[in-house]
Amino acid sequence: MNVYDFSVKTRDGGQVSLADYRGKVLLIVNTATGCGFTPQYEDLQQIYDECAGSGFEILDFPCNQFAEQAPGTDEEIHTFCKGRFGITFPQFAKIDVLGEGADPLFRWLSENTKFEGFGGPMGIVMNGVAKKMDRDYKNNGNVKWNFTKFLIDRDGNIAARFEPTVNMKKVKEKIKEIL
């Protein structure tokens, strides 16, 4: 099984097969518009501008499961992201990434990656937040917060996972290495 076995819901209610992205390097991200990590949209757009011509796509999945930081409709979220950060990469319908209602794509991503811990100055804060939500958070691959990123290679396999506290320069370096 790989990423090409999944279909996802578009903002307008349609379905898209991720097989349509076959041969591209993908960065799959669960996002939120009212999060402390929301400014990462700017970094994501810069990476997209620089790498899209080399067969790279960012797939953005808004999620309201973490402190309800992605309120609004799919269109309101998209309008905010386009207006505030100028995003041009694909943004899909809002989804759940945890629990029984978790989107099958994110369930697969979580089950096939390990949580490597939160780093950087925000790591201490995020460890406390994650522990309140899941006492066993260090021992499972569940998405812990907004802006968790999964890097997919050209063959549809998971190449890396980045927690929201990972420096975006490291994310960019790994993307360029895979490209």
Q: What is the CATH number of the domain that holds 71?
A: 3.40.30.10
User: Which residues neighbour 16 within 8 Å (Cβ) at sequence distance 6 or greater?
Assistant: 7, 8, 9, 10, 92
35, 51, 63, 81: the active-site residue: 35
Q: Report d(CA 177, CA 130) in Å as an integer.
A: 30
**What is the pTM (predicted TM-score) of this model?**
0.96
Domain count for the chain, please give it: 1
Give the pLDDT confidence score for residue 120 in this predicted structure: 84
Domain span at residue 63 reads 3-178
* 100: phi then psi, degrees, rounded to nearest 5: -60, -30
Residue 51 falls in the annotated catalytic set: no
User: Which residue, among 47, 68, 59, has the nearest Cα to 146 in the 3D structure?
Assistant: 68
The end-to-end CA distance of the chain, in Å, is: 22
Give the pLDDT confidence score for residue 128 in this predicted structure: 92
CB 32 within 8 A of CB 25: no
Give the residue ranges of the chain where pLDDT is below 70: none
CB 132 within 8 A of CB 66: no
pLDDT, tens digit (0-9, with 9 covering 90-100), for 33-42: 999 999 999 9
Give the pLDDT confidence score for residue 164 in this predicted structure: 97
